[in-house]
Every structure is written in structure tokens, then in C-alpha cells.
Amino acid sequence: MRSRLLQRNLRIDPPLALTGQGMLIHDSNGKAVIDGSGGAAVACLGHGHPRVLEAMRAQMDRLSYAHTALYSCEPAEQLADMVLEGEPGGLTHLYLCSSGSEGVEAALKLARQYFVEIGQPNRRNFIARRQSYHGNTLGALAAGGNMMRRAIYQPILSDAFHHVSACYAYRDRRDDESDAQYVARLAAELEAQFQSLGPDTVAAFIAEPVVGATLGCVAALPGYFQAVRAICDRHGALLILDEVMSGMGRTGTMHAWEQEGVPPDIQVVAKGLGGGYQPIGGIMIGAKIIDALRDGSGGFMHGHTYQAHPIASAAALAVQQVIREEGLLENVRAMGALLEQRLVERLGNHRHVGDIRGRGLFWCAEFVADRASKAVFDPALKLNERIKREAYERGLACYPMAGTIDGKRGDHVILSPPYIARPADIEAIVARFGDAVDAAIAGLPPSG
């Protein structure tokens, strides 16, 4: 063991990523690996994009840092103008921070402050969904519903967070239920949660439009978010959509909620905002919240040393320019359709693939020991980690997830390639992934 970095696994030193170019990462094992997941659905322009590097260099030469107590800066202002162009869904302002978790914290605190400003200080509760992920800081972890991630920290998490079921049709829609009946059942559960807390104590409902890091690319059924929005509106609560993973083009539209037709009051963004070139996240905010702050205490009672950082903002601005100018959303949709087709061809009939699902360039395979019963593999086998290792051996990086299924660890693997992917990249990704799945399953002990 050589590394002195405290990372997820202290027992294995990971290889060093040395250089990145386009879809490829070259590492200290001498391998050139296709970044089939863009890290954790982050590297939307791939690696080493010349325009982003140039924008960062130019900004470094001009200004590296200035504190927001005194100054704003040009790239952050330009980034806000670009992201908010046309005021999508009535969102008019942007707060910039350094990560998805920070964005979620800001969204939660802003929702709370909004209600204090408008004279409803009783609103202290938040409703979120089980099997969700909103980040690893304490507030975001309390909002998240992944019980395995929460377990150790449960005693120090806020009790202001309450959880209802996610919209997860593959497992949770009953056989005798139509989609509409299932959505109605979920809406009734949410309504009941409001009632049991007292509707005037709820500040916001928070959800991922497409669940990412817990279940893997689970979009809600049609009508679900309309029903959620109607319940929030009826009770005067805010809707916060966490698009940290699913936003900024990943699902084929700039915002995932566009495909639901339901804009939020506050939207959290991060990964696709800066594409990994710099740590950056943010929240987009609706006008009524801004008005309340302006008319009330005058500003957001929150902030961080590195908020609206000039170099991070310059990087994100360049990423957003490239997405728009190079028509990459169109490519996400076209390559996403190809990725779906090839995944279904290669793994759709596989006896251990229960579900293949996703949108845009955001796809997941869920693995099961038995397709009929949907039973999960023995969690101790860590099948998803085995698939990751086999994929790496074949020159592919993919992103393994372990959502909780009936209290047990499930096996999901995400493929979320950069938006710049070409057909040959998609073919190579699916070929290597399919072989990795076969090899990982063949390598399981006989009882598995």
C-alpha cells in the first residue's frame, strides 16, 4: 500500500489516471480506457477539450480569485446569463458553488429561508424519496433515501427529512396495476405524508427527475411529476429537483424536467455544468423566491469561500458554449438511441439482466439472480464491482451502483458516455460491456 490518500477503499491502491484525451483515459497500468461513464456521469465533453482548457488558461491569466463579499466576476455573470437564457421554467437566478452536495445544501437552506421571509416559519419539514441520492454532506445525506449510505450516520442526521416511495416501476408497480394506477398510489402516499406532518409544516419535496446514483437511471412514469407538482402547489410547498446527475443535457434535453413538462422552484445542477474540468455546482432559482428574499432580508443567508469561483465559472461557461455551439444535445439523443439499441441487442435477453433503462446518454443495466422473481444476487458477491473490474480489463470504465432492494444490496451498472461520443465509441462500449458482464457472471462461485 503506497497511497496516503484516504479514499473509498484503503485495501487497494487504484491505478493513477495519467492523461485524458477525448473519450480515453491513459493510466499507470499502461492502459487506454474508454470513459464509458464519464466518471460518475460528469465528463460530458470527455477529456482535454481544447476550448475548455483555453478558457481556463485565459481566466487564470486575468483573475484567479476574488471574494464575493466585495466582487462578482465576469465568467460567473456570463455563465448565469447563458444557463438562464430564456428563463427556463421561470428560473431566473443562479447560485454557484463547488459540488452537487453543496448545491443540495443551498437548495434546502434557501427553501427554509424563503418560508421564513414570507412569514411561514413553521415550514421545517422536507419530504424526499427512498432509494434517492442527494449527496454526502449531512443535510444532503439526510435528504437522501439510500439506507446503506445513511446507516452509520443515522444518529447525527436531521429529523426534518421524511421519505416516501420512489417511482420505480420495474420493481414496485404491482402486476395488477396500470401505470396510471401506480402513479395514483404514489401520489396518495405523498399526500398522506403531507397530511401526517401537517401540510403547513412542509417546506419542500425534493426528488431526482431520473434517479441516478442509487437505482441507476430510473425515470418516473408519465404523470408522476405532474401529480407531485399539484400536491406541492396545493399545500404551498416548494418543488426542488435534483438534476446534479441527470441535468445539463445528460438525458437529451438541457434539463431532465423538460421531458416531464414540470419545472421546479429550485433546481440543483452540477456534474454536466462544468464537465469535471473544475469542481462546480449550482442552483437555479424561481422568481418568487428571489422576490421574497429581495423584499425580506435582502439576500441569501448562505455562502462559501469558493462560490462563483472565476476559473470554475470560466470552465463551465466554455463547457456550456461547446454544448450549444456543437449541437451536442442532438448527439446525446442520437447516440443515446444507438446505445439503447445495442444494449438491448446484446443484453436484453440475458438471463441475469432484469432491466435496461435510461434516457439520452444515461443508461443502466440492473442485474438479477433470477429474472422471474427479480431476486438480487447475494450481496456478498458484489457482482457490480466484478463487472467494473472485468470491464476495466477490457479497456472500459463503467459506473457500478448498489441500490437497496428490499433491504438488500442490488447490482446496477451505469453507462453514461461523454456527449461527444461517436457511433464507433458506442459500439466499443457495448461490446466491452457485454463481454465484461459475461465474464463477471461466469466467474461467480457455483452457488451464486
Side-chain-side CA neighbours of residue 224 (13 Å): 24
Based on the shown chain and the rule CB under 6 A, indicate whether residue 375 belongs to the binding site for ligand PMP: no
Backbone angles phi, psi at 22, to 5 degrees: 60, -125
- In sequence order, which residues have a C-beta less than 8 Å from that of residue 1 and are 6 or more positions away? 10, 11, 13
Based on the shown chain and the rule CB under 6 A, indicate whether residue 131 belongs to the binding site for ligand PMP: no
- The counts of H helices and E strands in the chain are 15, 19
- The closest of 24, 12, 42, 29 to 249, measured between CA atoms, is 42
Q: Which is nearer to ligand PMP, 96 or 368 (CB)?
A: 96
Strand partners for 190? none
Q: Nearest distance from residue 211's CB to ligand PMP, in Å?
A: 8
Q: Which is nearer to ligand PMP, 116 or 160 (CB)?
A: 160
Q: Which is nearer to ligand PMP, 135 or 434 (CB)?
A: 135
Other Cβ atoms within 10 Å of 71 Cβ, number:
12
Number of residues that bind ligand PMP (CB under 6 A): 16
Backbone angles phi, psi at 235, to 5 degrees: -100, 5
Whether residue 105 contacts residue 266, with contact meaning beta carbons closer than 8 Å, is answered with no
Q: Which stretch binds ligand PMP (CB under 6 A): 7-15, 127-135, 165-173, 325-333?
A: 127-135
Q: Which is nearer to ligand PMP, 133 or 300 (CB)?
A: 133
Based on the shown chain and the rule CB under 6 A, indicate whether residue 59 belongs to the binding site for ligand PMP: no
Based on the shown chain and the rule CB under 6 A, indicate whether residue 37 belongs to the binding site for ligand PMP: no
Residue environment code for 422-438, b if the CB has 16+ CB neighbours within 10 A, otherwise e: eeebbebbbebbbbbbb
Distance CA 256, CA 263 (A): 9
Q: Nearest distance from residue 439's CB to ligand PMP, in Å?
A: 27
Q: Which is nearer to ligand PMP, 260 or 390 (CB)?
A: 260
Based on the shown chain and the rule CB under 6 A, indicate whether residue 359 belongs to the binding site for ligand PMP: no
Based on the shown chain and the rule CB under 6 A, indicate whether residue 283 belongs to the binding site for ligand PMP: no
Based on the shown chain and the rule CB under 6 A, indicate whether residue 402 belongs to the binding site for ligand PMP: no
CA 140 to chain centre: 13
- The closest of 118, 290, 125 to 196, measured between CA atoms, is 125
Which of 15, 17, 39, 40 binds ligand PMP (CB under 6 A)? It is 40
Based on the shown chain and the rule CB under 6 A, indicate whether residue 293 belongs to the binding site for ligand PMP: no
Q: Which is nearer to ligand PMP, 39 or 296 (CB)?
A: 39
Which of 27, 35, 117, 242 binds ligand PMP (CB under 6 A)? It is 242
Grid coordinates belonging to 364: 443502466
Based on the shown chain and the rule CB under 6 A, indicate whether residue 212 belongs to the binding site for ligand PMP: yes
Q: Which stretch binds ligand PMP (CB under 6 A): 77-85, 207-215, 256-264, 380-388?
A: 207-215
Residue span 135-164 as binding mask against ligand PMP, x where in contact by CB under 6 A, dash where not: x-----------------------------
Q: Nearest distance from residue 428's CB to ligand PMP, in Å?
A: 25
Residues in the chain, overall count: 448
Q: Which of residues 70-109 bind ligand PMP (CB under 6 A)?
A: 99-101, 104
Based on the shown chain and the rule CB under 6 A, indicate whether residue 239 belongs to the binding site for ligand PMP: no
Q: Nearest distance from residue 50's CB to ligand PMP, in Å?
A: 25
Strand order in 91-97's β-sheet? 91-97, 281-286, 266-269, 238-242, 202-207, 125-129, 161-164
Q: Nearest distance from residue 358's CB to ligand PMP, in Å?
A: 14
Distance CA 238, CA 424 (A): 44
Q: Nearest distance from residue 136's CB to ligand PMP, in Å?
A: 6
CA R_g for the chain:
22
Binding-site ranges for ligand PMP (CB under 6 A): 40, 99-101, 104, 133-135, 208, 212-213, 242, 244-245, 270, 281
